[in-house]
Amino acid sequence: GAGVSQSPSNKVTEKGKDVELRCDPISGHTALYWYRQSLGQGLEFLIYFQGNSAPDKSGLPSDRFSAERTGGSVSTLTIQRTQQEDSAVYLCASSLSWGSNEQFFGPGTRLTVL
Amino acid sequence: EDKVVQSPLSLVVHEGDTVTLNCSYEVTNFRSLLWYKQEKKAPTFLFMLTSSGIEKKSGRLSSILDKKELFSILNITATQTGDSAIYLCATFGDYKLSFGAGTTVTVRA
């Protein structure tokens, strides 16, 4: 595609529910990254994929968070039993390969947990 | 743990002023340092720096890296109101990109 797309753009959910966030990277980009940005905070790295594998999952905030990528393309970030502190903007980015020059960011998903 | 510290946290300038943003870092297996501009949701890429002492320029923006002293600066000359944004510094280390908290730049007409 022309750019990184994410869906939904906004998600409001109740505490305790599960949510799934989707990222479509730029076609041909093998590396995909998830970040979150809480209100007034900097960007927090969550996880990255090279192809379908994630070499380092230590950035995920808790075991309620999981991510997968299939077919080297679309990735989903799943948050189980959401908590209010999960409210943030979740950003996805892709790059041609791990460590390549530039990461292209998607527009983000604003998650609000009531 | 990798650490990226930006200063100042915020600044207000008038159109035409020059601003200098600072970024210091402690990173395991440093690969590169990147600068981004964030106006609304998604950051947009400005520069990637891997070598010390080589200035990168793009219009009124320029940046340089000092790998000995572990810092980088981003300069914006002849600032315009459209330069108002959060400027993020990030470093690539082992498997991860670590961001600083950002510097909020406000340019007043």
Local confidence pLDDT in tens for the 114 residues of chain A: 579 999 999 999 999 999 999 999 999 999 999 999 887 777 888 998 988 988 878 789 999 999 999 888 999 999 999 999 999 999 999 988 776 667 888 999 999 999
Report whether A9 contacts A109 (CB < 8 A). yes
Compute the nearest-CA separation of A16 from chain B (Å).
26
Q: Does B3 touch chain A (CB under 8 A)?
A: no
Of A87, A81, A95, A91, nearest to A12 by C-alpha is A87
Helix (H) or strand (E) holding A79: strand A75-79
Report whether A21 contacts A82 (CB < 8 A). no
Compute the nearest-CA separation of B93 from chain A (Å).
9
User: Domain A19-98 in CATH: superfamily?
Assistant: Immunoglobulins (2.60.40.10)
In angstroms, the Cα distances linking B77 to A75, B18, B35, B55, B82 are 40, 4, 16, 14, 13
pLDDT per position as a tens digit, B30-51: 888 999 999 877 788 898 898 8
Predicted local distance difference test score (pLDDT) of residue B95: 63
Compute the nearest-CA separation of B59 from chain A (Å).
18
> What is the rounded CA–CA span in Å between residue B34 and residue B30?
12
pLDDT per position as a tens digit, B44-94: 889 889 888 889 999 999 999 999 999 999 999 999 999 999 999 999 877
Contacts of B57 (CB under 8 A, 6+ apart): none
Residue B13, pLDDT > 80, answer yes
Domain ranges of chain B: 3-108
> What is the rounded CA–CA span in Å between residue A31 and residue B16?
39
In angstroms, the Cα distances linking A64 to A38, A49, A79, A86, B13 are 17, 18, 6, 10, 43
In angstroms, the Cα distances linking B1 to A60, A71, A96, B81 are 15, 32, 26, 36
Contacts of A30 (CB under 8 A, 6+ apart): A50, A51, A72, A96, A97, A98
For B2-51, give the DSSP string.
-EEEEE-SEEEEETT--EEEEEEEE-TT--EEEEEEESSSSEEEEEEE-S
Fold of B3-108: Immunoglobulin-like (2.60.40)
Nearest CA in chain A to B39: A107
Contacts of B102 in chain A (CB under 8 A): 42
* DSSP 8-state secondary structure symbol assigned to residue A85: G
Query: Structure tokens of B95?
Result: 């498997």
Q: Residue A59 carries which side chain, given as an amino acid letter?
A: G
